[in-house]
Amino acid sequence: MGKRAWVAIIIAATILCVSPLVYVGWKFVRVFCPRDETNDLSFDRKVWLAKAHCHEDNPRGQMAGDIVKNHLRRGMSVGQVEELLGKPRYDSSKTKYTYDLGGSFRGCPLCYEVLELRLDKQGKLLKAEIVEE
């Protein structure tokens, strides 16, 4: 075997050995580093709307807990949600709205969170939760 073949084998073996470690580390962060709600901020609509496209140091992530607990109610109409939070990203079925929250507040720089809203076919809010994408 030539030198290139050996280099390819070494690279492939390294990837195969390191990948499970990365996966286990990722799972560890997700399970043992829960969302830190002690840093939550009260919802401020002006700040929320101004930071719609901010990915780093986005205060939306810290406001999301307050929004879910105190501002979003099951049965709210799409119009009421959009009046409160502005225009969302949503899927083609229009039954899932997402609002970008920026980087995770779990201390994981690779994690990205969104506020996900599930709607029924009539456009009424069913569920709101903070999820990682």
Each residue of 54-77: pLDDT tens digit?
666 788 888 999 999 999 999 999
Q: How far apart are CA 97 and CA 115, in angstroms?
A: 8
Chain position carrying tokens 């506020």: 115
Please say whether the beta carbons of 25 and 107 come within 8 A: no
**What tokens were used for 87?**
């225009």
Q: For position 67, what pLDDT does the model report? A: 95
- φ/ψ (deg, to 5) at 112: -130, 130
Please say whether the beta carbons of 66 and 42 come within 8 A: yes
- φ/ψ (deg, to 5) at 106: -95, 0
Each residue of 1-60: pLDDT tens digit?
788 888 888 888 888 887 777 666 656 655 555 555 545 789 999 999 988 776 667 888
Amino acid identity of 98?
T
3-state secondary structure of 30: helix
Q: What sign for the dihedral angle of Cα 98, 103, 105, 111?
A: positive
3-state secondary structure of 94: coil
Q: What distance lies between CA 53 and its chain's CA centroid? A: 13
DSSP label of 122: T
Each residue of 87-121: pLDDT tens digit?
988 666 788 999 988 776 555 556 778 899 999 99
Q: For position 6, what pLDDT does the model report? A: 85
Q: For position 13, what pLDDT does the model report? A: 81
Architecture of the 35-132 domain: 2-Layer Sandwich (3.30)
* Residue 82 pLDDT > 90: yes
Q: For position 38, what pLDDT does the model report? A: 47
* Residue 128 pLDDT > 90: yes
Q: For position 110, what pLDDT does the model report? A: 63
